[in-house]
Amino acid sequence: MAQILNATTHDIGGLTVNRLLPHMKKRMVGPFIFFDHMGPTHFPAGQGIEVQPHPHIGLSTLTYLFEGHILHRDSLGNKLEIAPGDVNWMTAGSGIVHSERESFEVRGVDHAINGLQTWIALPEQYSDIDPSFEHIGRHDLPQITHNGVMTRVIAGEAYGLESPITTYSAMFYVDVIAPIQRTITVPNPDQEIALYVVFGEVTISGASYSPGQLVLLEQQDAHITTTKDTRLILLGGDKWENVPYIHWNFVSFSKARIEQAKQDWREGNFPSIPDDDREFVPLPTGKPKAQPLR
């Protein structure tokens, strides 16, 4: 039977997020080690998202919005606004710094934010590659519509479609919008698969699932039926036998590498963000040592 992971709530830069991964019951789904649903949150004019510069190593971050805009800056010099449906893919590798804020135009009026942020672990052989950045507009992502079901491949490969995003391990990340009483066949059944209901309701093997739940599917859970008009995310990939350590924003197969990253951030040895280098998120104190993901 499919297993449900319920979210924990966190505050990040003035934004409430529901965190599904990592979870006590399941640390990774394929290469996905982190899954946050941001919002939906409404801000009055003058308030909004304020995530100060912070570092990453050993992973790729993926931002995908349903509503709202986020201004991305990073230490490679990239500065652009993420719009709904776009894919913002930042590969940290050996180390990168980025911030997530808002433009004047967004902050100056009442506005909302609703979307997903995920981290995808880099395989050990790629964990210290040079950092890079890709931004793919929504119209450049592969999409099909059949029997009223809209399917978009955000990253990886599924249903015979491949996203243009550069990935480093076998994976898929798919957005689906379907009317009531449609049956969706899961992609890549030999891989680990999870489903997240954004809105609506689905049944799988006779059980019902609602918004806010991350559902880990079993191999026999091959079909998903919508019992309301529904939007859902399908994600997964090959199961990782050798899993990395994680501490704060750092992912590595080496505890020593994580300790070095912590020291580098304390001592200001990470690169800075052009035009956004006057403040930063300090390294958390009193946290446990890096733990392996199980």
Residue 212 near residue 173, CB atoms below 8 Å: no
Is 54 annotated in a binding site? The answer is yes
Return d(Cα 7, Cα 5) in angstroms, integer.
Answer: 7
Is 23 annotated in a binding site? The answer is no
Q: What is the DSSP letter of 249?
A: T
Is 98 annotated in a binding site? The answer is yes
Cis status, amide bond into 179, omega within 30 of 0: no
Q: How far is CA 293 from CA 125, 135, 229, 241, in A?
A: 18, 29, 35, 10
Is 146 annotated in a binding site? The answer is no
The β-bridge relationship of strands 70-74 and 96-101 is antiparallel
Residue with tokens 């392996």: 292
Q: How far is CA 124 from CA 55, 107, 243, in A?
A: 19, 40, 9
Here the tokens at position 93 are 């590798």
Return d(Cα 213, Cα 210) in angstroms, integer.
Answer: 6
C-alpha closest to that of 82 among 55, 121, 49: 49
- CA dihedral defined by 106, 111, 114, 115, rounded to 10 degrees? -10
Main-chain dihedrals φ then ψ at residue 45, nearest 5 degrees:
-55, 135
Provide the residue type at 35 as one letter.
F
Helix ranges (H only) for 9-113 are 104-107
Q: Which residues are annotated as a binding site for Fe cation?
A: 54, 56, 98, 100
Q: Which residues are annotated as a binding site?
A: 54, 56, 98, 100
